[in-house]
Amino acid sequence: MIDLRSDTVTKPSPAMREAMARAEVGDDVYGEDPTVNRLQERGAALVGKKAALFVPSGTLGNQLCLRALAEPGREVIVERHSHIVRYEQGAAGALAGVQLHWVNGTQGLITAEQVEAAIRPKDAYSIQSALLCIENTHNAGGGTVYPLSTIQAIRTVASAHGVLMHMDGARLFNAVVSSGVSATDYARHFETVTFCLSKGLGAPAGSLIATDDLGLLERLRRFRRMYGGAMRQAGILAAAGLYALEHNIQRLAEDHANARRLATLLQQIPAVSINPGAVATNILFFDVHSSRLSMPDFVAALKQEGLLLSAVGGKTCRAVTHLDVSADAIQRAGDIVARVLRR
Ligand SMILES: *Cc1c(COP(=O)(O)O)cnc(C)c1O
């Protein structure tokens, strides 16, 4: 089965499992897991921050940052199709007690002008803007990458208004590998940065939150405990994360090449519309025009032929490349789509 539903479906490789089996562990609630500590140091250094905190998921990472950086009753500016808006079960309201202020991005990316317009006036009756979140790469926007200059311009506006910044960098290293901008150059503009080990980096679970503010780190640690995200001998998971950071960052370029390869194959199919030029990293969206197959039927027919994709709308599909799909598998995936639509 060729599974292009998500880059979360990767399974730990034998070498990663070996590292997990050998991991030295301790009770991380006491700060005594040496492997977690090493992962936190390594992760912080990779993004040029002083410290990092290991959390079970990217969702928890985002939510702890919202909780720690914005008081309940404040407003948080986000792009309208961001993960925080669509896929975190309303946690921003339910748990952090903040109100989300949606801005319409272009393929998920927002501009400094939009941020300026979204920040509330500092008067006695307006809700106050506390925080701005940027998603890089932007998942629903098609794996899109922020130009560094856009982030710099947004930071200037945010700072002028005393608004803090968080980067949901679930796929930050896809952005880094694609743009050539270093993780540190992106991260320096944010109070907090999260990134997932469990997406394209191939670990089974875990994310890191990085920051320069050690007081904030302690607040994040307390909220992690409150939210039930503090773990004990988590070094077994952290070892997978360390392995991922060491071996699986540069190779993300292969996933990007495979996504472009797939886009080129799909473009040749008459019933498919896709813009290969819009494929920035490892996520691609394409539309299917078939009078014969509904979207659920299309996805089911692909599955019969050994290909899994996600239907994300009336005629739109999403495919995500990752370290468990080879260039060969991509060629076969393209053939399967062509065959199913030709029948
Ligand atoms: C996957 C993802 C997350 C976090 O997801 P978890 O499944 O909770 O680890 C956060 N933001 C974005 C943009 C994502 O794609």
Q: Which atom of ligand 1 is nearest to the CA of 205?
A: 9
Please indicate whether residue 59, judged by its CB atom, sits closer than 6 Å to ligand 1: yes
Question: Across the chain, what does the average pLDDT equal?
Answer: 97
Segment 48-83, tens digit of pLDDT = 999 999 999 999 999 999 999 999 999 999 999 999
Look up tokens 């080129």; give the residue.
Answer: 264
Q: What's the CA gap between 221 and 94, in Å, rounded?
A: 20
Q: What's the CA gap between 283 and 144, in Å, rounded?
A: 8
Degrees to nearest 5, angle at CA 179 with 178 and 180: 100
Q: What's the CA gap between 59 and 328, in Å, rounded?
A: 33
pLDDT recorded at residue 247: 98
- Whether the per-residue pLDDT at 27 is higher than 90: the answer is yes
Q: What CATH number was assigned to the domain covering residues 251-342?
A: 3.90.1150.10
Segment 6-19, tens digit of pLDDT = 999 999 999 999 99
Q: Ligand 1 pocket check: which of 7, 8, 59 to mutate, most ligand atoms within 8 Å of Cβ?
A: 59
Cβ pair 160, 107 in contact under 8 A:
no
Strands (E), 212-300: 272-273, 283-288
Angle between helices 14-22 and 235-247 (to 10 degrees): 140
- In the structure, what pLDDT confidence band is assigned to residue 248 with cuts at 50, 70 and 90? very high
Q: What CATH number was assigned to the domain covering residues 8-247?
A: 3.40.640.10
Q: Which of 144, 147, 190 is nearest to 166 (CA)?
A: 190
184: Cα within 13 Å, side-chain hemisphere: 7
pLDDT recorded at residue 291: 85
Contacts of 321 (CB under 8 A, 6+ apart): 4, 7, 255, 256, 258, 259, 262, 282, 330
The ranges assigned to domains in the chain are 8-247, 251-342
Segment 93-144, tens digit of pLDDT = 999 999 999 999 999 999 999 999 999 999 999 999 999 999 999 999 999 9
pLDDT recorded at residue 313: 84
Cβ pair 144, 138 in contact under 8 A:
yes
Secondary structure tally for the chain: helices H, strands E:
14, 13
Please indicate whether residue 138, judged by its CB atom, sits closer than 6 Å to ligand 1: no
